[in-house]
Structure 1
Amino acid sequence: MKAFIGLLLVPCAIGLTSRPDEPIILPTLNNTNLVGVKNIAMIDENRLDPFTNNTQFRELMVSLFYPIDGAPSQLLVDQQASHYSGKADTVTPYMPPATAANFDALFAEFGVANGTFSQLFTRCQANAPIPKDLSNYPLVMFSPGAVASRFIYTTIAQEIARKGYIVACLDHSYDALVVEFPDGRLIHGIDIDSRDIVELMVQVRAQDVSFVLDELVWSSLLSSYNINVNDTIAFGHSLGGATTAEVMLYDTRIKGGVNLDGKLFGSMEKPDTRLSRPFIQFGRARNGPNEDQDREWKRLSGWKLELHLEEASHTTFSDLPLLAEVIGLRKRLGRKGDELLGKADGVRALEIMVAYVTAFAEYVLTGKNSSLLSDDGGGRFPEVEVLRRG
């Protein structure tokens, strides 16, 4: 079950580069454009959750990132009180407390100190007032990898939002390592111990994405903000990439998708399946022919592009390389760190993912092509190879 997170769990002592209780503020690509975030609980009262033996309605948590107005302000830190506050660009905890404690526990036997994840902060304003009309901001949906929390992709989501997008990041309950609700309840992930469980998860995840799109329009909390859900893109990492393709097969509101280093489980494995809308396959470089990827390529019948990131690992397509650097893990791992995290540093990997997702979104939603999507990528990221297009 813990295969994704477990890539980082190696026997070594890990110590923070900062003092205990000192906030570690994660880097940002652009601190000029301000971003807000709301963590929202959603209940689908039209769908019973198969992971509860159909005894409870399906419950989700969603992080909604959005551009906000305001001028950057000086961060205020009261270290003695362990209280972090500010104004327009107030830092926000990277994870809520119980989730952070679960990640501490997961890494504890490998030397991560208790309280490490609660020391991580991001430059994003929690519960900032949402602009009254969001109709001019395109919507991007995100689905994480199996077991991984939505919070492990926070910097990717907020940097996309800084470029003028709304980003909805889902946690898929009973799939994520842990999902923390506002009332303090925790839902832990189940064991992913069979192919049937994976196939069920892809189906349920796709339904989750469609449900959240509905909620962004119809819920009393969000309906007044005029979010345009009819022209959106989606992307996902690992099983989230399969989720993206699956939901696109039946939900035409999603005009294009990006799969970050994932195998397309679910309906995309059927020989007669064809996905006719734009899609990018973006993964690690191959070490020879890959029959799965070749089959997937044939089932993408619309505009399509396959990209490879040189010297990447599976975790490169998340926040984990960045987190490993700020807590001092990469340095301690040495060469093993390159194998587990990829050789690109965390900020560079972040820049690449944000650039390609937003270039694709602009192309799909406005028709404006970017040199990044050309044969040579415009020369901006030489470590990204265009393998094929169609």
Structure 2
Amino acid sequence: MMKAFTGLLLVPFATSITSRPHRSIILPTLNDTNNVGVKNIAMIDENRLDPFTNNTQQRELIISLFYPIDGAPSQLLVDQQVNYYSGKADPVTPYMPPATAATYDALLAEYGVAKGTFSRLFTRCQTNAPVPKDLSGYPLVIFSPGAGASRFTYTTIAQEIARKGYIVACLDHSYDALVVEFPDGRLIHGVGKDSPYTLELMVQVRAQDVSFVLDELLSSSLLSPYNINVNNTIAFGHSLGGATTAEVMLNDSRIKGGVNFDGTLFGSMEKPDTMLSKPFIQFGRARNGPNEDQNREWKRLSGWKLELQLEEAAHETFSDIPLLAEVTGLRKRLGRKGDEILGKVDGLRALEIMVAYVTAFAEYVLTGKNSSLLSDDGGGRFPEVKVLRRG
């Protein structure tokens, strides 16, 4: 069972929402085209009870589906408000729906983020743009966020991968994400870091979510006309999403390779007899040599594997957060503390690096075409990325 979840508020571009609070920001991209569409789709797994409701309700999820379209820079409409859930096609997309935006405003208020900040952010995706009749020629990439994180805080990464000719499905894991907002206005809040649920259970449920989404993309009456090919999928995730990626790869043959951005591989990968034989990239921030967890994980990757580190990165570098901090002026206000939280890598540069490596890896795994990025020196394109080891 699936439902569409869409909508938009359109306002003019501005460079600073701190100095001009009545205006909004169109987030920068790696190019200025609007050739990516996005649909937000709610799903109900009628065959699975949700353990976070004491098994009293069916598991509910929502995804953002990004896809390539024929498009050019669109003229933005001024001072026109439309219903967020209207289903209307529009040239830009709100970064977050209203309640989610308000939740993030409140979360970051202690850092000086003003009320209304997140509701004034927009992306150069076309909401509900017509989907090409046949998407089978576009490889599918599926993404799992970090613990507690909303899928929306990885939007720019997803849209740039889609711009390279991929379909990208970004999940929200209900009761894990800080808040999940549904089309009827219902909110599901995360259980929080002090919940009684184990990391092993969280990873297991997340992996089941990913496989369910692949099932729905294949069989749902809403999406089946688009002929999405789910049988050759690449998965990637950040933090606990990286653990989710490895977990689902162990049990779902449709996923051919995975990328873990700065996550520890909790779940089945902690067991001494577990071996993951599919291609896998470990990509994290710089450390003083591999730690015990990294060495354990490396030994349990028995297929093609590569371990990379991004110099001067922090954990949040592998998300949209640095870019958001830069365009809103938050990074400047945080000063040195901002470097600790966000890393020193420029937000657009981090975006370019992540997109380049995910797409190069996907092309290698799915077509066999090798990229200099995956070589011992990375081809010299990103000198701040270091190859730690390969196998």
TM-score of the pair, normalised by structure 1: 0.92
Tell whether 2:162 aligns with 1:161. Answer: yes
For 1:51, the aligned partner's letter is: F
Tell whether 2:68 aligns with 1:52. Answer: no
For 2:390, the aligned partner's letter is: R
1:240-255 matches, within 5 Å, as 240-255=241-256
Identity within the alignment, %: 85
Deviation of 1:268 after TM superposition, in Å, equals 0.2
- Gaps (5+ residues) in structure 2? 1-15
SS at match of 1:148: coil
The residue number in structure 2 matching 1:308 is 309
CA distance in 1, matches of 2:153, 2:314: 15
Deviation of 1:276 after TM superposition, in Å, equals 0.3
Deviation of 1:18 after TM superposition, in Å, equals 4.3
CA distance in 2, matches of 1:246, 1:350: 25
The residue number in structure 2 matching 1:137 is 138
CA distance in 2, matches of 1:109, 1:248: 39
CA distance in 2, matches of 1:301, 1:244: 16
1:1-390 matches, within 5 Å, as 16-32=17-33, 34-78=35-79, 90-193=91-194, 196-390=197-391
For 2:141, the aligned partner's letter is: V
Root mean square deviation of aligned Cα: 1.8
The answer (yes or no) to whether the contact 1:76–1:84 under 8 Å persists in 2 is no
For 2:205, the aligned partner's letter is: V
Structure 1 109/343 Cα, relative in aligned 2: closer, same or farther at 3 Å?
closer
- Gaps (5+ residues) in structure 1? 1-14
CA distance in 1, matches of 2:30, 2:290: 35
Deviation of 1:195 after TM superposition, in Å, equals 8.1
CA distance in 2, matches of 1:88, 1:207: 31
SS at match of 2:39: strand
The answer (yes or no) to whether the contact 1:231–1:254 under 8 Å persists in 2 is yes
CA distance in 1, matches of 2:81, 2:331: 27
CA distance in 1, matches of 2:102, 2:132: 33
The answer (yes or no) to whether the contact 2:93–2:125 under 8 Å persists in 1 is yes
Q: Deviations over 1:209-261 (max 9, x none)?
A: 00000000111100111000000100000000000000000101000000000
Structure 1 168/328 Cα, relative in aligned 2: closer, same or farther at 3 Å?
same
CA distance in 2, matches of 1:298, 1:158: 33
Q: Deviations over 1:50-93 (max 9, x none)?
A: 00000000000100000011333222322xx56799x9971110
CA distance in 2, matches of 1:17, 1:93: 18
CA distance in 1, matches of 2:251, 2:74: 44
CA distance in 2, matches of 1:210, 1:18: 45
Deviation of 1:112 after TM superposition, in Å, equals 1.7
SS at match of 1:264: coil
For 1:49, the aligned partner's letter is: D
The answer (yes or no) to whether the contact 2:144–2:245 under 8 Å persists in 1 is yes
CA distance in 1, matches of 2:164, 2:183: 29
The range that moved more, 280-289 or 348-357, is 280-289
SS at match of 1:58: strand
The residue number in structure 1 matching 2:9 is none
CA distance in 1, matches of 2:111, 2:72: 41
Deviation of 1:147 after TM superposition, in Å, equals 0.3
CA distance in 2, matches of 1:303, 1:60: 32
The answer (yes or no) to whether the contact 1:138–1:231 under 8 Å persists in 2 is yes
The range that moved more, 188-197 or 140-149, is 188-197
The range that moved more, 62-71 or 346-355, is 62-71
Deviation of 1:197 after TM superposition, in Å, equals 2.1
For 1:130, the aligned partner's letter is: V
For 1:326, the aligned partner's letter is: V
SS at match of 2:198: helix
CA distance in 1, matches of 2:90, 2:160: 14
Structure 1 299/332 Cα, relative in aligned 2: closer, same or farther at 3 Å?
same
Deviation of 1:191 after TM superposition, in Å, equals 2.4
The answer (yes or no) to whether the contact 1:26–1:326 under 8 Å persists in 2 is yes
For 1:157, the aligned partner's letter is: A
CA distance in 2, matches of 1:159, 1:77: 25
CA distance in 1, matches of 2:237, 2:77: 35
Q: Deviations over 1:267-293 (max 9, x none)?
A: 000011000000000001112340100
Deviation of 1:31 after TM superposition, in Å, equals 2.5
For 1:244, the aligned partner's letter is: T
The residue number in structure 1 matching 2:8 is none
CA distance in 1, matches of 2:196, 2:310: 28
CA distance in 2, matches of 1:18, 1:61: 35
The answer (yes or no) to whether the contact 2:243–2:265 under 8 Å persists in 1 is yes
For 1:266, the aligned partner's letter is: G
The answer (yes or no) to whether the contact 1:285–1:312 under 8 Å persists in 2 is yes
